[in-house]
Chains A and B, each alone.
Chain A
Amino acid sequence: MRTDSKSWRDPVLVATVAPLAIVMLLFFVIPLVMTAVLSFQTTQFYRLSWTWDLKIWTEVFSKPHYWTIMARTVAMALVCVVICVLIAFPAAYALATRLRAYNAQIQILIIFAFLTDAVLKTFGWILVLDKSGVANWLLAHLGLGPEALNLLFTPTGTMIGMVYGLVVYPLFTIYLSLARIDRDLVLAAYDSGASRLRAFFEVTLPLSRPGLYCGAVLVFVLSLGAFLEPKVLGGGTAPLASELIRQSFETRVNWPLGAALTLVLIVIGALSLALSAAVLLRGSRRAAR
């Protein structure tokens, strides 16, 4: 695309871009810079003191406790991505191919689920996962659970809540990708002699990759920041990064530490994204050759 080097002089262009630029600057760039600035200060007697030193950063890098939590957060996010995609892909595939007639109804149901408040949904799961809850009642009546399963206040409980909250994102993105695939391409694969399975792996799956990738990225980023599920369903037994950051700010009133940990989480997220993008790009380039 050609860009005009003097496009900033175009008043209409400036007027249309300016509001977004201002919002981004006010609510994204400036807070980020403030966070970075904050991480180089210290606290004394629960009060912030402007010192400009690396004390906080030395603490962050010398305490393995923080890194255990970071590693757990990334691991949970990765597991969440895998589970979400495994659930979302078949569902999206069914929506895009078999259930076309009920498409509108199903989409409305998904949107309802999507718009229901996250707090409400998370607390709702307590009723299901509790020792005397619906899940155990069902298992017991199906004769599958000899003793009550303890799901509430475990990492499994956290994961169930995270997957439940995030699965709609890949469901939507994968559905959009699949719905855009021309049916003739699949027919062309059959016509060339491909079995249904082969046609799926040669045509449908590669062409749905943008939606797959987009959904996975959304789930990953959002689960890095999950705070409600680990607290409500995980019961704080295995805290994740967001809980650590919240504690630093609120309980310990150590704002510089909270800011530093926030930056660590952001960097981890950005690096994982860059890494997966590089891997994916290389993969598609190899497919091209």
Chain B
Amino acid sequence: MRALHGVSLDIGAGEFVALVGPSGCGKTTLLKILAGFEDQTSGTLEIQGQDMQGVPAAKRPTRMVFQKLALFPHKTVSDNIGFPLKLQKVARAEMDQRISAMLDLMHLKREYLTRYPAQLSGGEQQRVALARALISRPSVLLLDEPMSALDAKLKKSLQAELKKLHRELGTSFVLVTHDLEEAMMLADRICVMRAGEVVQLGTPSDIYYRPANMFVAGFIGETNFLPVSVTRDKDEAKVASPLAGQEAAIIAKDQVSPFLGDTQTALLVRPETIRFVTGAAEPGEWVLSGTVEEYFIKGSSTQYRVRVPGLDKPVVMDLAGSLDLPAKVSDSVRIGFHPARSFLLSE
């Protein structure tokens, strides 16, 4: 079975690239090929201009942080971090000095040096794993979902540290994650994969605001797809929806996905761009009628789910949080958005 096909990816020196996709999309296989644990059956891999065909993992300028960290349970923290240096036969004095520099960089306490990995908390183990991977100053750091096992709060603080670390070190980072939000927070560029293929490669704002298709758009958070009929007019597109019955809207060229197909076309309407319409609609605004199915107070925002007749799924909208709720469950409401500010894509 082929896990990957037609993957072409250039990662610049010092860049932070995230490989994102559902499980089984080949992102981990790609990372293992980069690390040298698996060989590609065809195609070439170059790191710093050198062909990596047949180069074993030990000889590559890559270091990996494993999903389950893979700290050596029988070695102390000091021996774990210093292991790559020990293999390089670095002198003891320099080794100690570099280990303590790593401790400072990772905000680890000095007394941990003599402890075993099992005696540390999850977040501390994470830092030790990072320290072990970074101590030999690799030119590429590979991260295989290293934060998937941590609780939300710890995850957030480690993510921030990882980003800072990347900025300070100038090492290329390749992060594998199934969490597109994490990828958006951290990476310079994101590579969204599905079934062994690259679906889209772009900056976080490209991925969010100009997704290639519904798969990419649906990958981050909750969002709405409004089925529309499309008539192409040169680069622009004219869209209409029988649901709302309003006049057709013109979608500008840069709001149309370059991968737009003929079938299953839809407007991507982000939850934060929808409002309740109480008075008259604004010019160009599309208004749908529905009933409130449920709402969630999230603190800084309030999420509404509005059932619109003719749509399979309720429309999700995020409003700024407020003390007075604009609508209650089973209220009849009108919701509006600007199609011209939405993004046109297809399945």
Contact = CB atoms under 8 A, between A and B. Distances in A.
Bound together: yes
Interface of A: 182, 184-185, 187-195, 198, 202-203, 206-207, 284, 287-289
Contacts of A287: 74
Interface in B224-268: none
Nearest to B83: A192
A11 B157 CA distance: 50
A190 B87 CA distance: 10
Given A182-B68, A194-B87, A187 B74 contact: no
Nearest to A190: B57
B76 A195 contact: no
Interface stretch (B7-15, B58-66, B287-295): B58-66
Interface string B44-61: 000000000000111100
B56 A182 contact: no
Nearest to A287: B74
Interface in B54-94: 56-59, 62-64, 66-68, 70-74, 76, 83-84, 87-88
B58 A187 contact: no
A192 B84 contact: yes
Contacts of B87: 192-194, 198
B312 to A, nearest CB: 42
A213 to B, nearest CB: 13
Contacts, number: 67
Interface of B: 35-37, 56-59, 62-64, 66-68, 70-74, 76, 83-84, 87-88, 114, 116, 132-133, 136
A184 B66 contact: yes
**What 6 pairs across the A-B complex have the smallest Cβ distances?**
A188-B70, A184-B70, A192-B84, A193-B87, A190-B57, A193-B58
Nearest to A188: B70
Contacts of A207: 73-74
Interface centre among A191, A207, A288 (most CB of B within 10 A): A191
A192 B37 contact: no
A190 B58 contact: yes
Determine the main DSSP class of A at the interface with B: helix
Given A194-B87, A207-B73, 18 more contacts: A184-B67, A184-B70, A185-B70, A185-B73, A188-B71, A188-B72, A188-B132, A190-B37, A191-B36, A191-B63, A191-B64, A191-B133, A192-B84, A192-B132, A194-B58, A202-B83, A288-B76, A289-B76
B116 to A, nearest CB: 8
B52 to A, nearest CB: 14
A98 B280 CA distance: 73
Contacts of B74: 206-207, 284, 287
A190 B116 CA distance: 21
B68 A192 contact: no
Nearest to A186: B70
Contacts of A188: 64, 66, 70-72, 132
A288 B113 CA distance: 11
Contacts of A182: 68, 70
A230 B64 CA distance: 55
A187 B88 contact: no
Given A191-B63, A191-B64, A193-B88, A185 B57 contact: no
